[in-house]
Amino acid sequence: CLVAPTFGYVACRVLVTMSRPRRLSGIDYTGPLAYSLTFCTRHRSPAFIDANVAHLVLTQIRRTADAEWFAVLAYCLMPDHVHLLVQGTRESASLARFVKMAKQRSGGVFARRHARRLWQEGYFERVVRKSDDLHVLASYIVANPVRAGLVASSRDYAYVGSDVWTLAELIGSL
């Protein structure tokens, strides 16, 4: 569920029992920072094997990113979790607000249609270092279905991509 340990970062795990994620000291989680995020479905239910659910969630995440001043550098909806690489586009971009609203909007639409909760509480996060190559991280995220054995190529998986780079650009850098 976590992004690559080969990039030398420590991911912050937010426990299910916590109402708010733990934060790294010295970082205010606002502004033009980049983050690698993972949201898991409640009980790790494979909600995203349903194309309609995957489309609905991706639409709400993109809508929220636009409203909250984040660029979606990469996304991957695995059967029971979502990987995102996002970056604030303004000084006022707040990670906490983006995550809250993205999960709330997508979870609300899902709950109205399926009469159950979509997301587990909390999420996994990593603040991306300025020295990290965002394009390489995005490429790693879109390759998740290949590493999981779901498809032979990321081109064959419907719910990977980027709002910044083409899939061909991301696959070509692997």
Average pLDDT on 15-20 reads: 43
Average pLDDT on 68-82 reads: 98
Average pLDDT on 67-73 reads: 98
**Could you report the per-residue pLDDT of 88-114, keeping only the tens digit for each?**
999 999 999 999 999 999 999 999 999
Q: What is the pLDDT of residue 22?
A: 61
Average pLDDT of the chain, as a whole number: 88
Amino acid at 45: S
Q: What is the pLDDT of residue 49?
A: 96
Q: What is the pLDDT of residue 99?
A: 97
**Could you report the per-residue pLDDT of 119-169, keeping only the tens digit for each?**
999 999 999 999 999 999 999 999 999 999 999 999 999 999 999 999 999
Q: What is the pLDDT of residue 28?
A: 82
Interacting residues of 14 by C-beta distance below 8 A, sequence separation 6+: 21, 22, 121, 122, 123, 124, 125
pTM greater than the 0.95 cutoff: no
Nearest Cα neighbor of 31 from 74, 86, 87 is: 87
